[in-house]
């Protein structure tokens, strides 16, 4: 199926057939490894976010956070998209009123993992920018991370996950959805879904792009 879709992408009927097979469900314990690998690639500098001297150590730290109920990466906030029982995408949805608490809990856990003074100082410096920027508007649902596997990119799974997030937000009567886009290419994807930039500045050497969609 994947080969046919990629080869004949101009024929939308194949995409329709494929997307009908996509099931979105709550993440489970058996999804931790796959979800960690998906989320890992959503960050430009994953080691600055989750620590670790190697990719494997970084992934192990992330897996622990995904298993932790008091983390912004907890399974409680993750939905996955699967086809034929294979997870091809994931999205992390966090309510506005839980984001600050979960972020502080997560940062504290990460800080405790660090050994050297320089590593701790760099971690603090890296987090300071969020004092000047609230990731999520008051009253919104926050998309913390969204990712699709390499084999499924361009097949509409990311868009399907975004539409699912909107359905959840409307059902739970949120005012809209907030998110951060990591670069211009990602920004264009969100703009096609009617998200607008509300913040686009360089803070402490990193470009921060905040986007929202109001209902």
Determine the pLDDT at residue 4.
Answer: 36
| Cβ contact 40:59 at 8 Å | yes
Q: Which of 160, 137, 162 is nearest to 15 (CA)?
A: 160
Angstrom distance (rounded) from CA 87 to CA 115: 35
The residue-averaged pLDDT of 98-124 equals: 87
Q: Of 48-52, 70-74, 86-90, 186-190, which range is least confident?
A: 48-52
Q: Backbone phi, then psi, for 79, in 5-degree steps?
A: -115, 145
Strands 23-26 and 78-83: antiparallel
Lowest-pLDDT choice from 4-8, 30-34, 138-142? 4-8
Residue 2 pLDDT class (50, 70, 90 cuts): very low
Q: What is the pLDDT of residue 163?
A: 96
Q: Which is more confident, 6 or 177?
A: 177
- What share of residues in the chain are helix, strand, coil (percent, to 5)? 50, 25, 25
Arithmetic mean of pLDDT over the chain: 89
Q: How confident is the model at residue 143 (pLDDT cuts 50, 70, 90)?
A: very high
pLDDT of 77: 98
* Per-residue tokens: 47: 């080691």
Instruction: Give the residue-averaged pLDDT of 17-24.
Output: 85
pTM for this prediction: 0.88
**What does the pLDDT average to over 1-6?**
38
In percent, the amount of the chain with pLDDT more than 90 equals: 66
């Amino acid at each position: 199926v994947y080969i046919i879709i990629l080869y004949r992408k101009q024929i939308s009927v194949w995409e329709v057939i494929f997307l009908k097979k996509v099931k979105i469900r709550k993440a489970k314990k058996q999804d931790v490894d796959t979800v960690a690998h998906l989320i890992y690639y959503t960050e430009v500098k994953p080691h600055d976010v989750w620590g670790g001297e190697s990719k494997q150590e970084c992934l192990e730290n992330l897996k622990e956070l995904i298993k932790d109920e008091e983390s912004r990466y907890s399974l409680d906030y993750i939905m996955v998209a699967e086809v034929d029982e294979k997870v091809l995408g994931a999205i992390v949805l966090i309510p506005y009123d839980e984001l600050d608490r979960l972020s502080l809990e997560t940062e504290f856990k990460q800080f405790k993992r660090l050994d050297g003074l320089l590593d701790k100082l760099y971690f603090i410096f890296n987090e300071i920018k969020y004092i000047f920027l609230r990731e999520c508007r008051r009253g919104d649902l926050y998309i913390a991370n969204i990712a699709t596997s390499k084999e499924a990119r361009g097949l509409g799974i990311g868009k399907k996950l975004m539409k699912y997030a909107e359905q959840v937000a409307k059902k739970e009567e949120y005012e809209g959805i907030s998110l951060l886009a990591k670069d211009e290419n990602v920004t264009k994807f969100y703009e096609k879904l009617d998200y607008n930039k509300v913040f686009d500045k360089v803070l402490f050497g990193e470009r921060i792009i905040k986007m929202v969609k109001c209902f």
